[in-house]
Structure 1
Amino acid sequence: MESGFMAFAKTVLNWIGLFFVLGLSILIVIIAVVYIIDKTQKKQAIRRNFPVIGHFRYWFEHLGEFFRQYFFAMDREEMPFNRAERNWAYRAAKDVSRTLAFGSTRNLTSTGTVMFLNDQFPTLEKNAVESQPVLIGPYCRTPYLAKSFFNISGMSYGSLSKVAVQALAKGAAKAGCWINTGEGGLSPHHLSGGGDVVFQIGTAKYGVRNGDGGLDDDRLKEVSSHPQVKMIELKLAQGAKPGKGGILPGRKVTEEIAQIRHIPAGEDSISPNGHPEIDNVSDLLDMINHIRDISGKPVGFKTVIGTDAFLFDLCEEIHRRGPESAPDFITIDSADGGSGAAPQPLFDYVGLTIKESLPIVLNVLQKQGLRDRIKVICSGKMINPSGVAWALAMGADFTLSARGFMFALGCIQALQCNKNTCPTGVTTHDPDLQKGLVVPDKAERVYHYHKNLVKAVGMIAHSCGVAEPRGLKRHHVRVVTETGLSTPLNKIHPYQENSIPTRKL
């Protein structure tokens, strides 16, 4: 019996030894082949000078995208979102405790720091009220009574996976906020939750384009007739790439996406950098009114602000035509926005951030007597309550977030959005990777993230002594200057008065 066992063990060891030698031989052959390839190739100096081991440089560089945020970055130093910001979003989405101990890790004396001014007699819970719905599009056949001041910004099906869009749609419906389709067209996944949808028309007119890439009125009528489509947004520019159209790599243009967009499958989907039909503010108003006449629904435009000259020209043309010709809303995107692919020069250097552009837009509209007519929506890195509260205090009617809701879906900021390799299934069309995103679970997280952010903005408002978030005003905020001391926001951006009388709505 024992000798039989010893013979068996010896056989097993022999086989292990054989496999080890075989494996080692294969490894040596692979290393030799890689060595020869590296030494003879002429494109990468590191590999040519340091064959085989040079590959570790690229491997570590790739892994750094995933791990630097966990092992090397401090809580408040990483970009585009630091660990503290992301962790708040994660905890809000999971509906777990968002309290911390031992004091803030935020530097409260650095230039630009926003501080809300607490009242000595804060609003008691019994006196707090919810923000009331706001009417958009008073001259439309079908105005929109928007319920929430915090909504989901434009992210197209294509940039996002179908399971991500489904989770967002279902979560938005439960939360009572709208979801913007992004420029990729209206998909069944946007409608799957049964909630409110804002349909975006980009420069390529995806979903409502004709064979030449222009606007197809019949397709527009069909899309806008859907009862869930509440508003239409004409996109002139977005924060990640002002002056550049949308970019969707061919590997992400599936058959379904191609059918929705009315483009060929498997080919890069690159939008024009502007609308060929729109060269000036007169053309812009013509297009807005054309879309509104066909759809009967509120129509506005989305852009990144460069100068205020455009706004003054727009207001002048509106006054010439009459207030009914005005866009029903303007969506301002921040230069530091962006959830998808964009060229780095545009990411880093073009356009104004929302901290400058929002007060510019609000002040011009107020001085031109159009503030009540045109609702102002803003977006740009608003994933935490403080950013949303600041925007409302500045005077915005609504705020949007894209990446905040991506964090709610499980995004880990792996920076793989444009590569179809997103490890959490949010921005990939790889079925194996999409399996990690379970729609019912993530829809609940979207709902909780929205609920807890709105609740936290209300907490800031109540601390400032007002009954609800839209009660926040500029005088409730101070901003730290280069002296290390703060100054009132209403001194930096004074309240404006209407200088052009207009008839009431």
Structure 2
Amino acid sequence: MEQVLNILSMIPWWGWILILLLIIAIRDIFFNKRHIITHNFPIVGHIRYALESIGPELRQYIVASDREELPFNRNERGWIYASAKNQNNYEGFGTDEDIYKTNYIFINNSMLAYKLDKSHYNYENPYFIACAKVMGQFTNRKRPFRPASIINVSAMSFGSLSAKAIESLNVGCKQANAYHNTGEGGLSQYHKKGADVIFHFGTGYFGVRDDDGNFSLKKMVKLVKENPQIRAIEVKLSQGAKPGKGGVLPASKITKEIAAIRHVPLGKDILSPPTHSAFSDIPELVDFVEEIANATGLPVGIKSAVGQIKQWEELATIMKDTNRGPDFITVDGGEGGTGAAPPSFADHVSLPFINAFTDVYRVFEDKGITNRIVFIASGKLGFPAKAAMAFAMGADCINVAREAMISIGCIQAQSCHNNTCPTGIATQNKWLQSGINIEDKAERVNYYFTKFKKEFLEITHACGYEHPAQFAMDDVDINLSDKNITKTLASTFGYIKTKVPFTSVEDIKNCPHLGGTYGAEKKVKTKEVETEDTSVSKQ
């Protein structure tokens, strides 16, 4: 034994490496029955697989240019990071965008910018931009709601995101006067940190389901009564990433807490069916919306990706003829991505935002009822110039999902579906979550929203307007293919946005239905909100 040890001690370090490689080669050549490359090229094959496994990281940080990477390129992520950290988010030496590419947008500024009336200037909150419309006003809901911010957090559930991520977003929304959409995972304690909440549910009815998995109106009423921060309810028909497919929350991401909130068993994948059991056609959908609105007193809306347009036409006809139906419509572009999906769905099913929104808005514009609906736009719109385009097309609010995740530290690792998110944002792994500082991340959400609103408001004023609702379709040009070169949105999409009833920002500030902490301060002084039905959440 001593002689063996002496011989082994004489082998240099590089000799051990050669021995290890020889063992790997023997194993792959004689015992590997699964992988052709490592069998035929035992050493080089392993190097190839190692490089392939870190390919996304190499491209993200080294190979891809600042404008190449998808879904969000390095420049876009950099702008969000800088804004969220309250750092300089400007760029110098001019644009490096290809301004002649198809679908590139140009915002038509005014010769003379809007002159701000200093007597109405809010020094405490200079970048206040509330929604110009009120949800539920035309359908006489008991508790109408005017979102206090035109940019808000889109539907991302507790379960798909971690507890600390949800809490960070909610606290940040409170600071920014934005609402926080719960996603379809139910209302958790992490959604109750002070922000206005839109309760969202899909085909699984999580949080408002009975023992058989069906929708429970009794549970919905109880939930709304016990949680006054819920200001509106959203019924998800489909989402951009995978419309008509349903969803899966892997068993590995389901904790006891998540199971209790969703009213589902532990140890099993949570399946959301592709269709609703509570209704099966458009008239039944309208009845379902009205049933919830009458029972809760809240505005009720729908969220959907867009493809075929016939059922949208049926919905618009019913709404015009009966004055019933959703108070708001969230149009989710096919480029949406917070829900994991098969590539065939993510890449090809449902229209991208710009096509989806114009198709839907045109249907309601033809019926003359666009001002009865709050249109919420979703689909990579968390940048001021893209938001200006959306408002010019008819949007009233912007919902952001991945942009909000990036603001709290998401690095676009694209491992949301594996429960291995390295930043702790899209995982239930306690160790990975431990790096999230809720106070710091909430502040970053607030800064991102504030910087967004600041820049968006500056663009609005540059175009001669006081509020983004005043944008018209001729205020934005878009590059087209072939020889059409550039046309306005109106020329391109064949409709004229209905003028939004807007008087002044000052009137919006005094609205009794205004949400957010800013609105709450105003409401305590008004008689209209002394009853429980019109009270604002005081968390």
TM-score calculated relative to the size of structure 2: 0.84
Which amino acid in the other structure matches residue 197 of structure 1? V
| Aligned twin of 2:88 | 97
1:108, 1:30 → 2: CA distance? 52
2:287, 2:170 → 1: CA distance? 31
1:288 aligns with 2:279: no
| Aligned twin of 1:341 | 340
| Aligned twin of 2:110 | 119
| Aligned twin of 1:7 | none
| Aligned twin of 1:249 | 250
CA contact (8 A) 1:157 1:187 kept: yes
| Aligned twin of 1:477 | 476
Taking the TM superposition and a 5 Å limit, the aligned residue runs for 1:79-228 are: 79-126=70-117, 130-133=128-131, 134-138=133-137, 139-191=140-192, 193-225=193-225, 226-228=227-229
**Shift of residue 495, structure 1, vs aligned partner:** 3.8
Aligned alpha-carbon RMSD (Å): 2.4
Unaligned runs of 5+ in 2: 122-127, 499-539
Residue by residue over 1:313-372, the C-alpha shift from the partner in whole angstroms, topping out at 9 and shown as x without a partner, is 11222344x11x211111110000111311110000010111011122222112112212
**Shift of residue 39, structure 1, vs aligned partner:** 4.6
Classify 1:41/1:490 alpha carbon distance in 2 versus 1 (closer, same or farther; 3 Å): same
Give the secondary-structure state (helix, strand or coil) at the position aligned to 1:454: helix
1:404, 1:464 → 2: CA distance? 25
1:188, 1:446 → 2: CA distance? 19
Residue by residue over 1:118-146, the C-alpha shift from the partner in whole angstroms, topping out at 9 and shown as x without a partner, is 11111234469753443111221211121
Give the secondary-structure state (helix, strand or coil) at the position aligned to 1:115: strand
Classify 1:292/1:39 alpha carbon distance in 2 versus 1 (closer, same or farther; 3 Å): farther
| Aligned twin of 2:518 | none
CA contact (8 A) 2:312 2:360 kept: yes
Classify 1:103/1:40 alpha carbon distance in 2 versus 1 (closer, same or farther; 3 Å): same
| Aligned twin of 1:259 | 260
**Shift of residue 53, structure 1, vs aligned partner:** 3.8
| Aligned twin of 1:405 | 404
| Aligned twin of 1:383 | 382
CA contact (8 A) 2:215 2:278 kept: no
| Aligned twin of 2:507 | none
1:230, 1:295 → 2: CA distance? 10
CA contact (8 A) 1:38 1:52 kept: no
Residue by residue over 1:199-250, the C-alpha shift from the partner in whole angstroms, topping out at 9 and shown as x without a partner, is 1111111111112211122221222221011111000100100111122111
1:66 aligns with 2:67: no
1:347, 1:20 → 2: CA distance? 55
Residue by residue over 1:417-470, the C-alpha shift from the partner in whole angstroms, topping out at 9 and shown as x without a partner, is 111111111111111111221111100000000011011111111111112222
| Aligned twin of 1:442 | 441
CA contact (8 A) 2:205 2:215 kept: yes
Residue by residue over 1:280-313, the C-alpha shift from the partner in whole angstroms, topping out at 9 and shown as x without a partner, is 1012112111221222211111001112211111
CA contact (8 A) 1:110 1:484 kept: no
| Aligned twin of 2:509 | none
1:453 aligns with 2:444: no
2:350, 2:177 → 1: CA distance? 32
CA contact (8 A) 1:93 1:449 kept: yes
CA contact (8 A) 1:47 1:55 kept: yes
Give the secondary-structure state (helix, strand or coil) at the position aligned to 1:135: coil
1:25, 1:86 → 2: CA distance? 45
1:410, 1:254 → 2: CA distance? 23
Give the secondary-structure state (helix, strand or coil) at the position aligned to 1:179: strand
| Aligned twin of 1:275 | 276
Give the secondary-structure state (helix, strand or coil) at the position aligned to 1:418: helix
2:316, 2:10 → 1: CA distance? 78
Q: Please, which moves more after superposition, 481-490 or 326-335?
A: 481-490
CA contact (8 A) 1:39 1:47 kept: no
1:233 aligns with 2:234: yes
| Aligned twin of 1:428 | 427
Give the secondary-structure state (helix, strand or coil) at the position aligned to 1:372: helix
| Aligned twin of 1:327 | 326
CA contact (8 A) 2:328 2:373 kept: yes
Q: Please, which moves more after superposition, 25-34 or 122-131?
A: 25-34
2:383, 2:330 → 1: CA distance? 19
**Shift of residue 47, structure 1, vs aligned partner:** 2.4
Which amino acid in the other structure matches residue 157 of structure 1? F
CA contact (8 A) 1:367 1:496 kept: no
Give the secondary-structure state (helix, strand or coil) at the position aligned to 1:400: strand
Classify 1:67/1:456 alpha carbon distance in 2 versus 1 (closer, same or farther; 3 Å): same
Percent identity of paired positions between Structure 1 and Structure 2: 37
**Shift of residue 40, structure 1, vs aligned partner:** 2.6
Which amino acid in the other structure matches residue 251 of structure 1? S
1:31, 1:464 → 2: CA distance? 70
CA contact (8 A) 2:248 2:270 kept: yes
Unaligned runs of 5+ in 1: 1-13, 499-505
1:287, 1:48 → 2: CA distance? 60
| Aligned twin of 2:351 | 352
| Aligned twin of 1:6 | none
Equivalent position to 1:45, from 22, 27, 36: 36
**Shift of residue 54, structure 1, vs aligned partner:** 2.1
CA contact (8 A) 1:65 1:415 kept: no
Give the secondary-structure state (helix, strand or coil) at the position aligned to 1:335: coil
Classify 1:38/1:430 alpha carbon distance in 2 versus 1 (closer, same or farther; 3 Å): farther
CA contact (8 A) 2:102 2:480 kept: yes
Equivalent position to 2:67, from 57, 76, 82: 76
Residue by residue over 1:455-493, the C-alpha shift from the partner in whole angstroms, topping out at 9 and shown as x without a partner, is 111111111111222221111111112237311111113
